[in-house]
Amino acid sequence: MTSSNIPAGKILTLLLSATLSFALSLNVAGAADSKKAMGKSTPLTQSYVWYDGDREQRVWLNPQVVAEFNPGADGERAMQSAHAGARIVPLQHKQTAIRLWQLDNTADTAIRSLKASHPQGNYSAVLHDGPASTVRRRALPGNVIVYLNPRWNRAAVNNWVSARKLEIVKQLEIGPNIYVIKTGPGLEALETANTLYRSGEVKAAFPDWWQEVATR
């Protein structure tokens, strides 16, 4: 099978395992703390759709957890200044590119206030693969991966990008005409991916997810 004949769903499976922007640094020693932090399962009710190729998938919003990408001391001070009860959630595998915050108020309110007080920060809602808070977590650091018509030349790609006022971050070499498109973090990335997929102009479009890795 040539790369141009690889089904969109198969390419996305490869992409999800190979091209996430935030590589996960494994540290199994943190597993016990993570499970303790997950605590008692809380039902989640608000869900969002995304598309894995042509397969509709669903994720559920955690209303009291926020993801902070590329965190630093300034971000920690901004969070604790705006939300005195905020506390860091231990991750199952230690990572430097992301920090999760458990809040006493709602995540969307926190993200809005943080964008105003710390505009250089990179924040996202936290979502789960099932309707409970103990199911694997995802977040949206920004950007969308799109699989365009493999027969298009670069001029056609550039015309399509320009007409939709998009910006290419980079091309991925895993297959023909697969690009990372720039978006902001959070639900903006999910909404952009869904809009592009539903337009019928792309073979596939999905957010460049951060995903939690489970202990083996």
pLDDT of residue 65: 94
Same domain flag for 44 and 125 = yes
Same domain, 161 and 77: no
Answer yes or no: do 38 and 11 share one domain: no
User: Both 133 and 36 in a single domain?
Assistant: yes
- Do residues 165 and 191 lie in contact, with contact meaning Cβ atoms separated by under 8 Å? no
Is 2 among the domain residues?
Answer: no
Neighbours of 167 (CB within 10 A): 12
Q: Same domain for 133 and 32?
A: yes
Query: In this structure, which amino acid lies at residue 11?
Result: I
Burial class (CB in 10 A: 0-12, 13-18, 19+), 56: exposed
Supply 165's token pair.
């006022």
* CATH code, 147: 3.30.70
Domains of the chain: total: 2
Please tell me whether residues 183 and 205 are part of one structural domain: yes
Residue with tokens 């559920």: 60
| Domain, as residue range, for 49 | 28-137
Choose the final residue of a domain: 122, 137, 152.
137
Instruction: Look up the pTM and report it.
Output: 0.81
Point out the domain boundary residue: 105, 137, 169: 137
Spatial distance between the Cα atoms of 9 and 160, rounded to a whole number of angstroms: 22
DSSP state of 168: E
Domain endpoint, select from 137, 152, 185: 137
Q: Write out the chain's pLDDT in tens, 216 residues.
A: 333 444 555 555 555 544 444 444 333 333 344 444 455 788 999 999 999 999 999 999 999 999 999 888 888 888 888 888 889 998 877 778 999 999 987 888 888 888 888 888 899 999 999 999 999 999 999 999 999 999 999 999 999 999 999 999 999 999 999 999 999 999 999 999 999 999 999 999 999 999 987 654
| Cβ atoms of 181 and 166 closer than 8 Å | yes
